[in-house]
Amino acid sequence: MLDLASLCPYPMPVRAIRRETADVWTLELQAPGDYHYQPGQYALVGIDGGRAVRAYTLSSSPGISDCLSITVRRLDGGLGSQWLTGAVQPGQLLQLSAAQGEFVPQPARSRYLFLAGGCGITPVMAMTRWLLNHVADASLVVLYNVRTPRDIIFADEWTALAQRYPAQLRLQRLVDSEPDADCRQALLSRELLQELVPDIAGRVVMSCGPEGYMALAGELALALGVPAADFHHEAFRAAEVAAVDAGDAVYQVLLQPWGDQAAVAAGGNLLAALEAEQIPLAAACRTGVCGTCKVRVLEGEFSLGEQSALSAAELADGYALACCCSVLSDLVIEGV
């Protein structure tokens, strides 16, 4: 079994379980008072007493929702989703990590386009609720792609939000088949974005969904004039978070000269691991551009994703950016 006490140190009782669609459920949890998160973040969840951990978006909105929630699609053969949507019952304890991720509302911005496919709507709902509640001049466009109207997650709540905030929220539900009065049959395309969001270049564009969907969303947004800095997509993937079975490796990170330690699953993100243990490390852009989360790797193996802040000399000297560093062995690092 995994050491859930270190990976997922927050036990939370399940208050209720609500079915959203034929294969999607929302689990409502009672979070402790010291659990803090931003809308759009995710957490690692301990599965079946420590057999594994999996990452799920926190579909609730801080300060608005009356509980913490995760929304889970049941996948055939999925260890985490099968257990959460089949075996877990109200009253049972789930163990969660600290909130992680940078897919959150951007500071001082009020105009957004959200592009979501399938379960990618979960962080979008969390951010939409929060922005409508906290930003007086919010202007939000949500394009939500699903297979059929029956696959719309949070269907009743979306209808209620659109009715309550007609001047601030424009919602377009897009389906592959079986369109109805509320759902248009269409796929994400350049022509569709030009028609529905002619002012796209002046909006922050945030996308969540399958990898191919997010890649297409990024290509279309950039082609239509959205600055690269204004396009954001959900970045946690199975290899980057601790979606790990008990037989897989969990590595230790030692931060010198202070001696702080963090556990991280094989392939996990270094910055997320440090933040999960509340180890302070400056991190501004979190996209490999600003360089504020620079560390030097003294021992161990890692891989570095796309970044532009480090010079060739720094890379040769063992420097890395924690925000785009995947851990491949035990590491000893030095704060800079």
Domains of the chain as residue ranges with CATH: 4-96 (2.40.30.10), 111-233 (3.40.50.80), 249-335 (3.10.20.30)
Question: Quick one: which of 293, 188, 284, 303 has its CA closest to 229?
Answer: 284
Q: Can the peptide bond before residue 62 be classed as cis, meaning omega within 30 degrees of 0?
A: no
pLDDT at position 159 over 50? yes
CA contacts within 13 A on the Cβ side of 321:
20
pLDDT at site 248: 53
pLDDT at position 306 over 80? no
Strand, helix or coil at 215? helix
Taking the C-alpha atoms of residue 140 and residue 135, their distance in angstroms, rounded to an integer, is 11
pLDDT at position 272 over 90? no
Give the alpha-carbon dihedral of 263, 268, 271, 275, to 10 degrees: -50
Taking the C-alpha atoms of residue 284 and residue 191, their distance in angstroms, rounded to an integer, is 35
pLDDT at position 325 over 70? yes
Query: What does the pLDDT average to over 5-18?
Result: 91
pLDDT, mean over the chain: 89
* 104-155 pLDDT per residue, tens: 999 899 999 999 999 999 999 999 999 999 999 999 999 999 999 999 999 9
pLDDT at site 102: 87
pLDDT at position 282 over 70? yes
pLDDT at site 324: 83
Query: What does the pLDDT average to over 309-331?
Result: 89
Q: Burial of 221 by CB count in 10 Å (0-12 exposed, 13-18 middle, 19+ buried)?
A: buried
Top-confidence residue, 3 or 173: 173
pLDDT at site 242: 40
Strand, helix or coil at 282? coil
pLDDT at site 236: 54
pTM of the model: 0.73
pLDDT-based confidence at residue 220 (cuts at 50, 70, 90):
very high
* 224-261 pLDDT per residue, tens: 999 999 999 986 543 334 444 444 567 889 998 888 88
* 186-203 pLDDT per residue, tens: 999 999 999 999 999 999
Taking the C-alpha atoms of residue 328 and residue 86, their distance in angstroms, rounded to an integer, is 33
pLDDT-based confidence at residue 285 (cuts at 50, 70, 90):
low
Ramachandran class of 300: left when φ > 0, alpha when ψ lies in -120 to 50, beta otherwise: left
Query: What does the pLDDT average to over 49-76?
Result: 91
Furthest-apart CA pair in the chain: how many Å? 62
Return the minimum-mean-pLDDT range out of 23-27, 204-208, 328-332.
328-332
Contact (CB, 8 A) for 13 and 92: yes
| Percent with pLDDT over 70 in the chain | 93
